Amino acid sequence: MTGRRLLIFLLFILLSFLLYHNSLTSAFALDDSLLIRGNSTIRELSNFSDLSGPRYAGLFSLALNYAVGGQSVVGYHLVNIFLHSINAFLVYLLLSSLLSYTAFKRDEEGSPGAISVSVAAALIFLAHPVHIEAVTHISGRFSILATLFYLLAIALYLYSRRGALLRRFLSYIGALLATLLAFKSAEISFTLPAMLFLIELGFIKSSGTYRKSLLLLLPFFLLLAIIPLDNLFIGIGIGAQLSPYDYLITEFRVVVTYLSLLVFPVGQVMSYDYPTYDSLTALPVLLSFLFLAGIFLTGTYIFIRARKRARQRHSASITTLFGFGVLWFFLTLSVESSIIPMKEHIAEGRLYLPSVGFVLVAATLFYRSAAYLSAVHAKVRKPVRYFWTLVISATLALSVTTIFRNAL
């Protein structure tokens, strides 16, 4: 790790603890008591000699917590906060790696570049109050760990696609191991192989056929079999209480709520009393569907159009990142917001992994906005000033909201 990256990582750790310090002594909430106090499995590490079963990595991490500190809430909160800072750093690594496959320039005097945009995305991810449920509640450990290994697998896969042969081989093996751990952390990681294919499509392959890419991705798709399909959502699905169709219809409205929470995080509550819908023609559902379809199709169009230009120029552009962020959001959210009914219609913790797509889009928009403002105001020709004004303002607003909501 270079000195700059180490400094950024330490900064993220510091900010994470500043944001969540007032939650260190928060009592077990929601499913936490059942998960810790009522779970005999995590009380003995010897119970984990059998590697089979869903969410093994998440439960094992809780068992390590229990072995060190028993039922003391502080230890569990400390680990969640630290893992959150690691995820912010992985967002930084992911974005900087993706941008290295584009024609996007490095940071120059007066102009934000790959480093600035990557740090900006990570800061927004780190500070966003929509992550409080995942970070503050111990039961969010599964989502946090799954996201960690999900991002790590992608970062290592990107490293494996170029460079010295030994580095490529070790990174590829590491990506496979991280994928395995992601699958053993939470079912939301199911979309990881498809995400790697999107990355191949949009960033890595600027010319030629996809035969080599498909061969490299084949083991990742084969690993999907590790997730026991017959036990995929044990304890999560609500069965006959809601049909897959009704759940899907209701989720159109829920996803719009998710987007509003990401863009303007106000009115957050611990438990939502959300109505159930059973018809696509219901006006709230129909409008939500059309709205989401518009966003999805726009993102897809931008991604494909940018991809076509990339094949002509033999290099992707930052525009590809915008479309990719939109597709990331919908793809990662599809596991829990489609046809598999959950116990609850809506839960902010489900946004932890999909929010990575949102911050990619946000960072891209900040960059474009800074360039536009710099062009409009001729006296100030340094887009970096506008860029960091936007980023710092957004980060401060999100941070204050996170701190105050954690104090409730």
More confident residue, 257 or 106: 257
**What phi and psi, each to the nearest 5 degrees, are found at residue 280?**
-70, -25
Question: pLDDT value at position 44?
Answer: 84
- Angstrom distances, CA of residue 93 to CA of 134, 271, 323: 21, 34, 19
- Per-residue pLDDT, 342: 83
Q: Where are the alpha helices (DSSP H) in 3-140?
A: 3-20, 32-36, 56-69, 73-100, 114-127, 132-136
More confident residue, 108 or 367: 367
Distance CA 382, CA 378 (A): 10
Separation between Cα atoms, residue 243 and residue 246, nearest integer Å = 5
Q: Tell me the whole-structure pTM to 2 decimals.
A: 0.92
Q: Is a pLDDT exceeding 80 seen at residue 309? A: no
- What is the pLDDT at residue 163? 83
Spatial contact of 182 and 90, defined as CB atoms under 8 Å apart: no
Candidate from 54-58, 145-149, 346-350 with smallest mean pLDDT: 54-58
Q: Which of 123-132, 156-165, 197-206, 333-342 is predicted least confidently?
A: 197-206
Residue written as tokens 């990331």? 328
pLDDT in tens, 30-60: 677 788 887 888 888 888 877 777 788 889 9
Token pair belonging to 127: 């500070």
Q: Which of 126, 127, 107, 116 is nearest to 388 (CA)?
A: 116
- Which residues does residue 338 pair with via DSSP β-bridges, in sequence order? none
Please check whether residue 299 is in contact with residue 322, taking contact to mean a CB–CB distance below 8 angstroms: yes
Q: In this model, does residue 384 exceed pLDDT 80?
A: no
pLDDT at 405 (0 to 100): 87
pLDDT for 52: 73
What whole-number percentage of the chain has pLDDT above 70?
88
- Provide the 8-state DSSP code for 204: I
